[in-house]
Amino acid sequence: MSVIDAVGHRVVGNIRVGQFPRGVAVTPNGALVLVTNSGSDTLSVIDPQSGAVVATVPIAGNPTGVAISPDAAQTPNTRPEGSMDNLDYYSDRKYCTHCEKYVPYLMSVDQSFCAECGAEVKLFSESDWRAFNDSMQARKPKGGRPRKDKRAKRESA
């Protein structure tokens, strides 16, 4: 994919994405650029500041276009047949330590990224993670079954 200087009307760089890049969209705050790759059935997620591909998301069906709703709540994928599939990468929320809140995110196989700032996100905030672990410990049954070796000794006695 070529990076073009809009003022000078010239190519200023290239970013290696999937095969046959077709559609391009930018998140409302400019933190991420999404590129559909029809030849590799993927969506490349680019950090525009560094020009690096930060994630590659598989999308079936020869994607040719992408759009992002103004609130970054939905990312429909357009296909050549004109059909629209709501591939909603933003419906769930994860915790962004940079934004210090739960945010919409874009997920790849290995990582997830904040749709607002582009930083890597976590499933929980630290305080919610502690609360989750505490609740699991509280539910853990006390005691338990005797060990097999103790049970065998009791039965033989």
Residue 147 forms part of a structural domain? no
Residue 155 forms part of a structural domain? no
Binning pLDDT at 50, 70 and 90, where does residue 17 land? very high
Rounded average pLDDT over 59-86: 58
What's the angle, vertex CA 93, arms to CA 87 and CA 95, rounded to 5? 140
Residue 146 forms part of a structural domain? no
pLDDT of amino acid 31: 84
State the amino acid at position 146 in one-letter form: P
Residue 76 forms part of a structural domain? yes
Neighbours of 136 (CB within 10 A): 9
List C-alpha distances in Å: 150 to 63, 92, 141, 143, 156. 62, 48, 20, 15, 10
Residue with more model confidence, 18 or 67: 18
Residue 150 forms part of a structural domain? no
pLDDT averaged over every residue in the chain: 75
- Start-to-end C-alpha separation, the chain: 78
Residue 14 CA to its chain's centroid (Å): 24
Contact 44, 23 (CB under 8 A): no
Rounded average pLDDT over 12-27: 88
DSSP output for 18-68: SSSEEEEEE-TTSS-EEEEETTTTEEEEEETTTTEEEEEEE-SS---EE--
Range of 125's domain?
Answer: 2-140
Instruction: Find the CATH number of the domain harbouring 103.
Output: 2.130.10.10
The total number of structural domains that make up the chain: 1
Residue with more model confidence, 112 or 9: 9
Contact 85, 69 (CB under 8 A): no
Percent above pLDDT 70 for the chain: 70
pLDDT of amino acid 79: 45
Residue 148 forms part of a structural domain? no
Contact 54, 36 (CB under 8 A): no
Residue 153 forms part of a structural domain? no
Residue 96 forms part of a structural domain? yes
Binning pLDDT at 50, 70 and 90, where does residue 144 land? low
Return phi, psi of residue 133, to 5°.
-65, -40
Q: Is the pLDDT of residue 149 over 50?
A: yes
